[in-house]
Structure 1
Amino acid sequence: MLTGLLALAGIISWIGKKRSKKLSMNQKKGWLIAHILSVIIYFSGLIGTLLLAVSTKFTADRALIHAAHLFIQFFDWFLIIPGAFASLITGVWLAVRTHWGMTKYYWVMAKWLGNITAIVFGGNFMRIWIHDNFEPIFSSSLHPLQNPLYLENREMLFTGTAISFAILLFLVVISYLKPWGKRKGIHKTTT
């Protein structure tokens, strides 16, 4: 997965560098809006996942617990995954097609590395807690609250969602603050 993400970022970067002109101010604004919307979609999925996972702590109704986890799957498929990939694609495109560049500023490097880390974490761990254990848990005759696999899965889902949320929040904060400045040895370029 990591190789695929780095290849995707590399291809977008290569295509962006082949373009002779940087983005115009209006194009940059449009891509920034697309980037912000993709992050909002990503955040929405994480917040929905967290709220639904928390709601399972306050009910013993098997059908409600099952429905909550079914919607968590939908949030992952239709909000988190598309939001994460769209934010990576739009972020790389913005970096390559503006004065920021992919490696000129520490905050830009932290953003795309952080996003790739979040996607790899989601693909390797969250996938298990959201999708892979879903059917075995709910096809079992055991009530989920009596099933040790479910209880462990739910706790890991809380933890994983909190980690994903923290990564995303960190990326949003550094997008706004743009800390750490320009890398040494990188000459100033014009827009």
Structure 2
Amino acid sequence: MSKDAGVFLGTTLLLVLLIIIPIWIGKKKSNKLNMNQKNWWLISHIFFVVIFIGGMLGTTLLAMSTNFITKREHIYAAHLFIEFFDWFLIIPGGIGSFFTGIWLAVRTHWGVTKYYWIMAKLGVTFIAILFGSTYMRIWIHETAGDIFVNTIHPLNNPLYLNSRGMLFIGIAISFSFIIFLVIISYLKPWGKIKEVQKPFLKQEGGEKR
């Protein structure tokens, strides 16, 4: 199995566990979060979201700066800090917001499968984290990093320029995910998922079985 496939499967397994475990624990607990507990979990969720968005904004700024700087060392430093932002802001922010969001849904009246907007938010966040752990990881940690081993100046290296271009595309896609999540979190569109009514048979005389 290749490294990329291993990372993809590992991330998928982690996300599935982060969904299953809170739902399983929530089913074991009949009581919901009280208002004080809910507020603290909501603060934690917003905190991780801010960390994630801050990491993305920092990554965007540093990536854009490589269009205006020419010294090899400065370009290398920009990509080095992009790696730091990914490890210490984007990854923990994404995982933390994913878990706290699921926990809030499970332990409050919202539920995970009761509303279309929550299901959409869960699905898009799942996809966004997988996208970051595969494609963005390659463009940030592997391709850009390996290029600086080459003696060719980065701005004269077509491999680096292609990698940087793909990084910009990845950043744009990531922000489209963020904008979508913010919009549906505020608007809460599409309403509640209708529960399927189970048919029942009637005995003669109108009694239920």
| TM-score computed with the length of structure 1 as normaliser | 0.94
Which SS does the other structure have where 1:99 is aligned?
Answer: coil
Residues 3-62 of structure 1 deviation map (CA, whole Å, 9 limit, x = unaligned): 331122111221122122100011111111111111110000001101100000011111
Q: Tell me whether 1:151 sits opposite 2:154 in the alignment.
A: no
Q: Distance in 1 between matches of 2:124 and 2:33?
A: 24
More helix by percentage: 1
**Hey, what does 2:40 align to over in structure 1?**
30
Residues 17, 97 of structure 1: 8 Å contact kept: no
Larger Rg: 2
Matched, 1:125 2:135: yes
CA RMSD of aligned residues (A): 1.3
| Partner SS, residue 57 of structure 1 | coil
In structure 2, runs of 5+ residues without a counterpart are 1-10, 198-209
Instruction: Indicate if the aligned counterparts of 2:144 and 2:163 stay in contact, CA closer than 8 A.
Output: no
Residue pair 1:129, 1:153 contacting (<8 A) in 2 also: yes
Unaligned runs of 5+ in 1: none
**Corresponding position of 2:75:** 65
CA distances 1:118-142 after superposition (whole Å, capped 9, x unpaired) = 0000011000000011332111101
Identical residues among aligned pairs (%): 59
| Distance in 2 separating the partners of 1:183 and 1:12 | 21
Structure possessing the higher relative contact order (Cα contacts under 8 Å, 6 or more residues apart):
1
TM-score under structure 2 length normalisation:
0.86
Q: 1:137-191 CA distances to partner (integer Å, 9 max, x unpaired)?
A: 111101001111110110111110111111012111111111111011279xxxx
Residue correspondences, number: 187
